[in-house]
Amino acid sequence: MTEERRRAQAAAFLALHHGTVPLVIPNVWDGGSARVMEQAGFPVLATTSAGIAFSHGVPDGALSRAAMLDRLAQIVGATGRPVAADLEAGYGPDAADVADAVARTPSPRSPPASRLP
């Protein structure tokens, strides 16, 4: 995804917050749920850390960063909608860890996190 496309999506997402009707953002947990919500007409999607963890059979907060980012890549790749990602507590105790998690957050053409250094 180009920087220009990212900025356009961010501007569109911000504009949705200032519409005449309340913005309803459904939580998705995999590519299938993302497609269903996109087809239902939602203009933007969000992830749920609990839903993603539960779909892996583990409690919320127990999923590794790599597994979460892999699932985010699946979700983002399944839809053309902007996706707001729940990145837990940033996957680390300090700002550098959070920055690293954000930098590894997938865009529509990103490889799965398990293939990143």
Q: Which tens digits make up the pLDDT trace of 101-115? A: 777 777 654 434 443
In DSSP terms, 91 is beta-bridged to none
pLDDT number for residue 101: 76
Instruction: State which residues form the domain around 108.
Output: 3-115
Q: How many domains does the chain have?
A: 1
115: which residues sit within 8 A by CB, 6+ positions away?
A: none
Q: What would the pLDDT profile of 27-62 be if each residue is shown by its tens digit? A: 999 999 999 999 999 999 999 999 999 999 999 989
What count of other Cβ atoms lies within 10 Å of the Cβ of residue 23?
A: 13
DSSP state of 30: S
**What is the domain-level CATH number for residue 27?**
3.20.20.60
The widest CA-to-CA distance across the chain, in whole angstroms, is 44
pTM: 0.79
